[in-house]
Structure 1
Amino acid sequence: MFGLIGHSTSFEAAREKARTLGFEEFAEGDLDVWCSAPPQLVEHLQVTSATGKTIEGAYIDSCFVPEMLSRFKTARRKVLSAMELAQKNGIDITALGGFTSIIFENFNLLKEQQIRSTTLEWERFTTGNTHTAWVICRQVETNAPKLGIDLSQARVAVIGATGDIGSAVCRWLSQRTGVKELLLVARQAQPLLDLQQELGGGRILKLEEALLEADVVVWVASLPQTLSIDAASLKSPCLMIDGGYPKNLDTKASGNGIHVLKGGIVEFFSDITWQMMEMAEMDNPKRQMFACFAEAILLEFEGIHTNFSWGRNNISLDKMDLIGAASLRHGFQALGLSAQIDPTPALTTA
């Protein structure tokens, strides 16, 4: 059995979800009420692979909302309690979705294996980052040529290059895709230097410098609310992959020749009867989902009950190959740009 741990995109969205599900006490409650609310197993579901295999799963709402990020103890407790609930329900492999995986990594919750009377078994959980990284790379490889961008001659900026997903994307694009040049952007200098040495190349730049040069921008860092992008300064065409969370890059960058694609989203080959992706505002909620969630589904299909994606900067190309092949075999497809694309103006990679 697989599990998915998620949360609402905002406090107001969470209250609306609670109202829809019949939890009136939460729907009418303030943020303090939600801070004390326990996680809820809100949905059971079945998924059938393109191979014909059917598996069962459950969705657990952590009752966390982004407005709680500044409350360290609350955020920590929300994630650990949701993991405890998954384990107590006998779920074999559970993906941490949205901010839950970010909280787990950034707050180093590996130190907190004991939650009340439960000792968490780490092998039951995955961040889903390996599949997310593979999907983002596939989105670059598939959609850039549609815009007339020759990746062998293109400069690709990775914003958040030293993170778990970002570093994996850099390894893949450098070693498998063979882009002309990687432009590496992150907050801390030393991890960038370490990554550059590991890759044997790539140019370290500030964000504003990288945006001026990039034919493709892969954004896997949190998007600052104060960020302002001069669309006129971007190359045209320019493919921008919004791999962060929440996905709002399209509100910062728009204009002729700029193509923003929601990164790390996959579409299943058939409908799934569930409510949670409607809450996540997917364009096709019966088929689309976050790639991190899909990783738990894939691991259950494959019978791999282990913490497949765990820690920071541990994603290997071999693991990306494995989960990518499973993704295709079971009927997932990376989200792409609309078929109605005008690739003009012509390629500008000089």
Structure 2
Amino acid sequence: MFGLIGHLTSLEHAQAVARDLGYPEYADQDLEFWCSAPPQVVDDITVTSATGQVIHGKYVESCFLPEMLAKRRAKAAIRKILNAMSHAQKNGINISALGGFSSIIFETFNLENMPQVRNVTLDFQRFTTGNTHTAYIICRQLEGVAKQLNLELAKTTVAVVGATGDIGSAVCRWINDRTDVADLLLVARNRERLEALQTELGRGKIMDVADALPQADVIIWVASMAKGMEINGETLRNPCVLIDGGYPKNLSTQVQRPGIHVLNGGIVEHSLDINWKIMQIVNMDVPSRQLFACFAESMLLEFEKWYTNFSWGRNQITLAKMEQIGGASVKHGFNPLLLSL
């Protein structure tokens, strides 16, 4: 059985979802309440592969909210993720994906050093960040949208914002080795990590975000957006493609201008309907088939019986592992979401 460990995008969103799911005791509570709310299994899931194989899983709501980090409640955030992992393990889930901020919190606060959650010793082999599949899907989206818009990659400049992160660095490796893009712009906050990535790739121009965006034909955004930051669509090229790999997806509200195409990055569409409710809650356009690629990774690991932390640790994603999970993705009927033209 596979598991999905996730969270909602805001306190307001959480209150509305709690009301819809039939948890009125959660619906009108403030952030303090959510800081102490325990994880819940709120959805049972059935997925059928393109091969005909059927698997079952559960969605574990961690009750973490991004406001907890904004309000400097790091201890609450840590507790949320560890408790959700423990809850998944106690429910007999073989492999669970850490969605959204869950994996970021795990890595940022070194939760691998906190394996004991009350009477449960976490078996980290049961958990994956899902980042390898996400990186693979974003790269396939780049290739697919280039075909949709007749962009010649050999004449295309691609900027990766968040280039030194786990997903961003993997995307850069794929672009460097598997495509022939004209220019690769590397954008991140840490100059030392950028220089190390540039040395590893043997190419790439290190730039700040303000200088990089107007020069890019395609912008792959896999970083958290700084509070108060805005993107001026008038400064972008026309046409320009923004692949929004963040969570929550917010670039489409930032940039609305003819010739600017915003694609929800890291999203897959399954070839068959999935029996679940959770993707309606996060407002997918086709909730019976569309989902986050990180969640799909745990499904793929369950289909293949690869019960291991396939994606784990910072900047450990290799091209071989991207191809491996990508092969399983194609086999079982998952396709990269592309533009609706």
Fold shared, TM-score > 0.5 on shorter chain: yes
Aligned counterparts of 1:145 and 1:52: Cα–Cα separation in 2:
30
Residue identity opposite 2:217 in structure 1: D
Shift of residue 179, structure 1, vs aligned partner:
1.2
Aligned partners of 2:25 and 2:247: how far apart in 1? 28
Aligned counterpart, 2:175: 173
Output the CA distance in 1 between the equivalents of 2:209 and 2:229. 11
Shift of 1:50: 0.4
Q: CA deviation at 1:288?
A: 0.5
Q: Secondary structure at the match of 1:130?
A: helix
Amino acid at match of 1:243: G
- 2:339 alignment partner in structure 1: 337
1:2 and 2:2 matched: yes
* 1:204 matched residue in structure 2: 206
Instruction: Tell me which residue corresponds to 2:29.
Output: 29
**How far did residue 201 of structure 1 move?**
0.6
CA RMSD of aligned residues (A): 1.0
Matched, 1:326 2:320: no
- How do 1:117-196 residues align onto structure 2 when only pairs under 5 Å count? 117-196=119-198
CA contact (8 A) 2:218 2:241 kept: yes
Which of 224, 233, 246 is matched with 2:248 structurally?
246
Could you tell me whether the CA contact under 8 Å between 1:147 and 1:237 is conserved in 2? no
Runs of 4+ in 1 over 6 A off after TM superposition: none
1:336 is displaced (CA, Å) by: 0.4
Q: What amino acid does structure 1 have at the position aligned with 2:2?
A: F
| Deviation at residue 229 of structure 1 after TM alignment | 1.9
| 2:319 equivalent to 1:313 | no
Counterpart in the other structure of 1:45: 45
Alignment of 1:29-108 (within 5 A): 29-69=29-69, 70-108=72-110
Count of aligned pairs = 339
Alpha-carbon distance in structure 1 between the residues aligned to 2:180 and 2:92: 43
Aligned residue for 2:269, secondary structure, equals: strand
List runs of 5+ in structure 2 lacking aligned partners.
none
Alpha-carbon shift at residue 23 of structure 1 (Å): 1.6
SS of match in other structure, 2:78: helix
1:148 shift after superposition: 2.6
Tell me the distance in 2 between the aligned counterparts of 1:229 and 1:82: 35
1:101, distance to aligned residue in structure 2 (A): 1.1
Instruction: Tell me if structure 2 keeps the 8 A contact 1:274–1:286.
Output: yes
Most deviating of 276-285 and 28-37: 28-37
Between the aligned partners of 1:264 and 1:181, the Cα distance in structure 2 is 22
Query: What CA distance in whole angstroms lies between the structure 2 residues aligned with 1:144 and 1:17?
Result: 37
Paired residue type of 1:169: V
Mapped partners of 1:235, 1:34: distance in 2: 43
SS of residue in 2 equivalent to 1:58: strand
- Retained in 1: the 8 A contact 2:267–2:336? yes
Distance 2:55 2:182 in 1: 42
**Whole-Å separation in 2 of the counterparts to 1:294 and 1:9:** 19
**Partner Cα distance (2:233, 2:21) in 1:** 41
* Aligned-residue offset at 1:225: 3.4
Q: Which amino acid aligns with 2:180?
A: G
Identical pairs, percent: 59
Q: Distance in 1 between matches of 2:264 and 2:243?
A: 6
Contact 2:43 2:58 in 1 (8 A): yes
C-alpha contact 1:157 1:218 (8 A) present in aligned 2:
yes
TM-score, scaled to structure 1? 0.95
Residue 78 (structure 1) shift: 0.1
The TM-score, its normalising length taken from structure 2, stands at: 0.98
Task: Name stretches of at least 5 consecutive residues in structure 1 with no aligned partner.
Answer: 341-350
Amino acid at match of 1:230: N
**2:14 alignment counterpart:** 14
